[in-house]
A and B are shown apart, each in its own frame.
Chain A
Amino acid sequence: MSEIDMAVIKPEMMKPYIWLETSDGSIQQVEQEIAMYCPLICQEIIQKGMGSSKNCAICLPQRVSPAMLSLILDYCRFHQVPGRSNKERKSYDEKFIRMETKRLCELTSAADSLQLKPLVDLTSRALARIIEGKSPEEIREIFHLPDDLTEEEKLEPLKNTTDDPRIRLLNRLYAKKRKELRERERLKNVEAEEEHADERSVDDLLSFINGNGDPKGIKASKNKKKNRRKKEQQQKNSSPKEASEVNKKEVNGQNIRHQSVEADGIAETSNSHTEDLFAQKEFDDGDDGIDPALKEKIDRWGYILSASLVMLFQEK
């Protein structure tokens, strides 16, 4: 039975109504005490005196569609009655939020625009429960969100990205330098010795860039780049080897210039060469497709470049 029918049948119980206009332009009548449960509507009635007739209907925010409004009004109708126990309210809430995920999102949005905080909390928590414990692919499926991250971005969601314009400039120059190097390297072969000579200076620069004094952190991030490529292949074969190298690095923590890095560097690059062919096929690093040994060189160029630019900016 609609509100109007109720008023006709029991005129002595006629309650004041107010008029609400939803996003699609349709106007409807709602019992005032129910609608007042929403702070926004309450504000409109009291402060601006709107809603008393069809002409001055309260315009609800755009996020409130008629379907959402009816859901919200159901919620308000239940909760605005003071005589309900907490248990009753809770079980009503549990049943209330059982709906399709998309509707739940829209409901959260609509409740937020009406400033109905209890409902916002309820729906947010429900959404959080949906997201909890799911893998990224599952989450994407549930919310129909196509993937728009690069493989690199997925690998390092913990990386601190900054909107610092200097960093962005560095990244752009880095990318340019990468392209140039790529062309150059296609003409000549990479020599293993070259990579070692630069090893020390790079570590210095890395400490400069990262701005922290923790050499372990530096080596961790540097080796992360080098080892990301190999991790899939060498995991089974060389986990004992890796463990010993890890220990070596821990021990030599404070000393940046030391032999073991070089030794590791030699071992790594020789490994990377023999497994280049193998690597080419599997390590399609998304956008890159640069072969691993080449990538090291590029990375180094990038660091040197970055460091010099950082120094430049800091002088200013």
Chain B
Amino acid sequence: MAKRPCPSQNPRVDNLNDVERLLDAFLSLSDLPSLSLDLSFERLLHSLPPDSDLIDRALKMGSLLLDAAKHSSRKRASNHNSLAWPLPPDLTIKVFSMLDTQSLCYASATCSLFSKCAKDPLCYANLDLTTLVPKVNNAVVATMIQRAGKALRSLKLGVVPGATTLGSCPPFVCTIRHSIVEVSNFSWNDKRSRQGRESSILTRCCLSPLSGDGGAPGALLRKLHLYNIERMDNASLSVALSACPSLLDLEIVGL
């Protein structure tokens, strides 16, 4: 975009309405080398009567502008990604299907392109939701199983103290700077429970999604490993097992 000496000389500006022209003029201030917006704002504030709502208006407009810019920035990033990423969706899904569940979640938090591909059922064929301390709850299990649908082949669930593969992964970095968590609301290695009042305990209903959706998820399940799910009882376990006619490998620890 070429720098303009004076906005009114630019024929492009004629197509815009008044608000847009003002916005254009305001934003072209960013080219000024001697710009100090805070000083100008203070001077303006002092020139007005003390009861003026200039500050509130500035806060409001500032936040509106920021939101608009962020939205457009995200759109621009999406466009860039769709052009820059060399793999077609089916190949991306193929790569993701080779990832373990934790890495899959991290990948889906990367960008919207990955996020879309990561929702494909093929990626959820082998679910490993074991953790070192209780963190995964029923809702998470349900979501994952639902996403897997007919593609679900193996499910590992529960608390496995010590010997899990997750120990080899780098600790999840919690960025407090914006109070926003980078990854899902359950973090795999973080010591503090991020779920607040939400239970991070698996209850006996945790396997009920296997029977859901006409039994589709459980129908082709081959492998089921349950570790130390304290709340599991025989009744719900038998319901779950009856939903899995193709089960070949069953392991239950700590019932």
- Chain A residues engaging chain B, CB cutoff 8 angstroms: 63, 102, 105-106, 108-109, 112, 120, 124-125, 127-128, 131-137, 139-140, 143-151, 153-161, 214, 216-217, 220-221, 223-224, 227-228, 230-232, 234-235, 239, 242, 245-246, 249-250, 264, 282-287, 289
Contact code string B126-164 (vs A, CB < 8 Å = 1, else 0): 000000000001111011101100000000000000000
Q: Given the known A-B contacts A132-B100, A160-B143, A227-B196, are A146 and B184 also in contact in the complex, defined by CB atoms under 8 Å?
A: no
Q: Give complex CA distance A55, B70 in Å.
A: 52
Q: Given the known A-B contacts A136-B109, A221-B139, A246-B197, are A157 and B115 also in contact in the complex, defined by CB atoms under 8 Å?
A: yes
User: Is the beta-carbon distance between B84 and A108 smaller than 8 angstroms?
Assistant: no
Given contacts A133-B169, A151-B180, A220-B139, list 16 more A-B pairs with CB under 8 A.
A105-B86, A108-B86, A109-B91, A133-B170, A145-B80, A145-B84, A148-B76, A149-B111, A155-B181, A156-B185, A160-B146, A160-B147, A217-B139, A231-B194, A246-B199, A284-B179
Q: Give complex CA distance A100, B144 in Å.
A: 33
Q: Give complex CA distance A92, B21 in Å.
A: 62
Q: Which of B81, B103, B111 contacts A132 (CB 8 A)?
A: B103
Contact code string B80-113 (vs A, CB < 8 Å = 1, else 0): 1100111110010011101110010111111111
Q: Which of A128, A140, A160, A230 contacts B196 (CB 8 A)?
A: A230
* Interface status of B240 (Cβ within 8 A of chain A): no
The chain A residue sitting closest to B144, CB to CB, is A158
Query: In the assembled complex, which residues on chain B have CB atoms less than 8 Å from the CB atom of A134?
Result: 103, 106, 170
26 sample A-B contacts, Cβ–Cβ < 8 Å, listed by A number: A105-B87, A108-B91, A109-B86, A127-B95, A128-B96, A128-B99, A132-B99, A133-B169, A135-B173, A137-B173, A143-B85, A145-B81, A146-B81, A147-B77, A154-B109, A154-B180, A154-B183, A157-B183, A158-B139, A160-B147, A227-B195, A227-B197, A228-B196, A239-B193, A249-B199, A250-B199
* Interface status of B78 (Cβ within 8 A of chain A): yes
Query: In the assembled complex, which residues on chain B have CB atoms less than 8 Å from the CB atom of A216?
Result: 138, 199, 203, 205
Q: Give complex CA distance A230, B129 in Å.
A: 26
The distance from the CB of A281 to the nearest CB of chain B, in whole angstroms, is 9
User: Is the beta-carbon distance between A109 and B88 smaller than 8 angstroms?
Assistant: yes
User: Is the beta-carbon distance between A140 and B195 smaller than 8 angstroms?
Assistant: no
User: Is the beta-carbon distance between B137 and A220 smaller than 8 angstroms?
Assistant: yes
Q: Give complex CA distance A38, B96 in Å.
A: 25
Q: Given the known A-B contacts A109-B86, A109-B88, are A149 and B168 also in contact in the complex, defined by CB atoms under 8 Å?
A: no
Query: In the assembled complex, which residues on chain A have CB atoms less than 8 Å from the CB atom of B140?
Result: 158
Q: Given the known A-B contacts A105-B86, A145-B84, A284-B179, are A155 and B95 also in contact in the complex, defined by CB atoms under 8 Å?
A: no
State which size class the interface on B falls in: 35 or more
Query: In the assembled complex, which residues on chain B have CB atoms less than 8 Å from the CB atom of A136?
Result: 106-107, 109-110, 182-183
* Interface status of B57 (Cβ within 8 A of chain A): no
* Interface status of B172 (Cβ within 8 A of chain A): yes
* Interface status of B176 (Cβ within 8 A of chain A): yes
Query: In the assembled complex, which residues on chain A have CB atoms less than 8 Å from the CB atom of B76?
Result: 148
Query: In the assembled complex, which residues on chain B have CB atoms less than 8 Å from the CB atom of A246?
Result: 197-199
8 closest residue pairs by CB, A with B: A227-B196, A148-B77, A128-B98, A146-B77, A133-B169, A148-B74, A136-B109, A231-B196
Contact code string B182-209 (vs A, CB < 8 Å = 1, else 0): 1111100000111111110001010010
Q: Given the known A-B contacts A128-B98, A135-B172, A145-B111, are A232 and B179 also in contact in the complex, defined by CB atoms under 8 Å?
A: yes
Query: In the assembled complex, which residues on chain B have CB atoms less than 8 Å from the CB atom of A108?
Result: 86-87, 91, 95
Query: In the assembled complex, which residues on chain A have CB atoms less than 8 Å from the CB atom of B146?
Result: 160
Query: In the assembled complex, which residues on chain A have CB atoms less than 8 Å from the CB atom of B74?
Result: 147-150
User: Is the beta-carbon distance between A151 and B178 smaller than 8 angstroms?
Assistant: yes
Q: Give complex CA distance A228, B186 in Å.
A: 12
The chain B residue sitting closest to A158, CB to CB, is B143
The chain B residue sitting closest to A134, CB to CB, is B106
Instruction: Pick from A102, A125, A151, A234 the residue with the most CB of B within 10 Å.
Output: A151
Q: Given the known A-B contacts A108-B91, A145-B84, A148-B78, are A131 and B99 also in contact in the complex, defined by CB atoms under 8 Å?
A: yes
Query: In the assembled complex, which residues on chain B have CB atoms less than 8 Å from the CB atom of A242?
Result: 196-197
